[in-house]
Structure 1
Amino acid sequence: MKIEGSVAVVTGANRGIGLAFAQALLARGAAKVYAGVRRPEDFTEPGLEPLRLDVTDHDQVAAAARAVPDATIVVNNAGIQAGPALLEGPLDGARRELEVNYLGTWAVSRAFAPVLAAGGGGALVNMLSVASWRSTERFPSYAASKAAQWSLTNALRVALRDQGTLVVGVHVGWVDTDATVRVDEPKTEPAEVAAQTMDAIARDESEVLVDDTARRVRAALSGPLDLLYPAL
C-alpha cells in the first residue's frame, strides 16, 4: 500500500523501535503520524502527534480509535520484557507481558479493524520477534507472549483479508534499545527495523525477516527440533 498521504498510529512510540517506526512513517510521506504514549504531555518529538494510549486500558484503546477515525496504518509496537526465569521468580511479570504484548495487540487490532476497513483496508503491523518461534530458559514468558502474538497475527491475516487489510509481522533478533543495553550480542538498529518494515508495507508483503537470526530461525521451523534447540 501507499505510505505517502497515509494516517498512521504507532503504539509504544515514545522511544526505541516505536519512535523509529513513527519517524520512518513521517519520512516516507505519511500525512499524519500519531504517537501512542502513556504521557502525551511529556512527548515533544517534532512532527508527531501525541496520543494517550496505554494498550492495557481498553477505555484508552477505544478512545484512540475514535480520535483517529481516518487511520490507514496501525503499528502494534508496544511491548515489555518483565517475566521471570523459567524455574524461579514470581509470575506477575509474565502476566504483565501477556497483557501488553498479546492482549494489548489484540485490543488495538480489534478497535482499529473497522477503522481500517472504512478507509479501504490499510495496513496493520505487529512488531514480533524471533522469540515468537524460539524460547529460552532466561526469557520463557516473553517468548510465550510473542508466540501468542504471532498466532494472533496469523488469525488477523485470515480475518481481515476480505476487508483488504495487509497484516504485517515483523521478526528480528536483538535490537539496540534501552532494554538490551546489557546484552553482549550483535544488534540491529531500530531505524533498520523501521526501514525494512516500510519497504514491506509499500510492497504489500506480510512478513519481515529483518536480520540473519530471524531468517535462520524461520527456516528452522520446518526442520527437526534440534535445529531450533541445538542442546537437544
Structure 2
Amino acid sequence: MDIQYSTALVTGANRGLGRAIAEALAAAGAKVYAASRSGTLAGPVAGGIVPVTLDVTDAASIEAAADALGDVTVLVNNAGVALSGGPISAPSLDRARAEMETNYFGTLAMARAFAPLIAANGGGAIVNVASIVSHAPIPQAGTYSASKAAVLSASLSMRAELAPRAIRVLTVLPGFIETDMTANNDVPKISPEAVAADILAGLRGNAEEIYPGVAADLARAFYADPKAHERALAGRLEAAE
C-alpha cells in the first residue's frame, strides 16, 4: 500500500514502540493520529502527527474516537500492558484480566469499531501488535503470553473476515523491545525504530505476519520442537526453586 496517502491511528503512541510507529508513518508521509489515554505526547511532536485521547479499554472512548476520526485507513493496535505472572503463581487473576482487557479485548474492540470506517474509505490495513510469546510462552509472563496468543488467533480470523472488504490484517510478533516495559529484563533487545521500520516494510509489501529481528529464528526453533521449549523452561524453573 502507498503509506504516503494513508491516515493512520496508532494506539499506545505516547512512548516506546507506539511513538516509534507513529513517527515512522509520519516520516513516510501519512497523516497520523497518535492515541494515548492522556491525549498528550512528551517532547517535540513531528509534523503530520495529531495527538488524540483514547482508552482502548473504555467503550465510550472508542466510540468517540470512531466518530471523530472517520478518515482512518490504517489502524495500528499497539496499546498493551505486561504485568508479569505465571498462570498459577500470580497472586490473583487481576493481572491476567487486566492484560486480556487491554491486549486482547482492546485490540478486538478497536478493530470492530474501525473496520467499517476503513472499508468505507476504500480499504486499508489493521496492524495488530502481538509478540513472539504468542507462539512460545514464558511461564514467568504466562498470563501476558496468553493475552498475546489471543491477539494472534484473533488476527487470523480477522484476516479472513476482512479480506473481502479490502482490509489487510498484519500481525507483528517481536521479541524483547527496548522500552520501559522491558527495562528490567537483561536480554537481547531490538529497538522500537527497527520494529517500526519492519512494520512499514510489511505495509508496503504483502506481509501478513512480521517477525522483527531474531523473532523469526525463535519461532522456527519453537515449532521445530515445541516440547523441547517446554522442557527447557520447566528445567529453568525447577533449578530456580
Q: Same fold (TM over 0.5)?
A: yes
> Which residue in the other structure is 2:141 paired with?
139
> Which residue in the other structure is 2:95 paired with?
93
> Which residue in the other structure is 1:70 paired with?
71
Deviation string 1:202-222 (CA, Å, 9 cap, x unpaired) is: 01311111021x212322454
Please tell me whether residue 19 in structure 1 is matched to residue 33 in structure 2.
Answer: no
Deviation string 1:47-95 (CA, Å, 9 cap, x unpaired) is: 3211111000011111111111111111000000014334241221110
> Which residue in the other structure is 1:40 paired with?
39
TM-score (norm 1): 0.94
Unaligned runs of 5+ in 2: 235-241
SS at match of 1:218: helix
Distance 1:63 1:228, change over 3 A: same
> Which residue in the other structure is 1:209 paired with?
211
In structure 2, C-alpha distance between the alignment counterparts of 1:229 and 1:188, rounded to whole Å? 24
Deviation string 1:182-225 (CA, Å, 9 cap, x unpaired) is: 1111100000000010000001311111021x212322454332
Work out the percentage of aligned pairs sharing the same amino acid: 41
SS at match of 1:34: strand
SS at match of 1:134: coil
Kindly indicate whether the alpha-carbon contact (under 8 Å) linking 2:40 and 2:52 is maintained by their aligned counterparts in 1: no
TM-score (norm 2): 0.91
Runs (4 or more) in structure 1 with deviation over 3 Å come to 41-44, 220-224
Q: What amino acid sits opposite 2:33 in the alignment?
A: Y
Unaligned runs of 5+ in 1: none
Alignment of 1:110-121 (within 5 A): 110-121=112-123
In structure 1, C-alpha distance between the alignment counterparts of 2:226 and 2:40, rounded to whole Å? 48
Distance 1:208 1:115, change over 3 A: same
In structure 1, C-alpha distance between the alignment counterparts of 2:85 and 2:24, rounded to whole Å? 33
Higher helix share: 2
In structure 2, C-alpha distance between the alignment counterparts of 1:75 and 1:88, rounded to whole Å? 30
Residue 41 of structure 1: CA displacement? 4.6
Q: What amino acid sits opposite 2:14 in the alignment?
A: N
Out of 138, 156, 159, the residue aligned to residue 157 of structure 1 is 159
> Which residue in the other structure is 2:109 paired with?
107
In structure 2, C-alpha distance between the alignment counterparts of 1:227 and 1:66, rounded to whole Å? 49
What RMSD, in angstroms, separates the aligned Cα atoms of the two structures?
Answer: 1.5
Kindly indicate whether the alpha-carbon contact (under 8 Å) linking 2:136 and 2:222 is maintained by their aligned counterparts in 1: no
SS at match of 1:46: coil
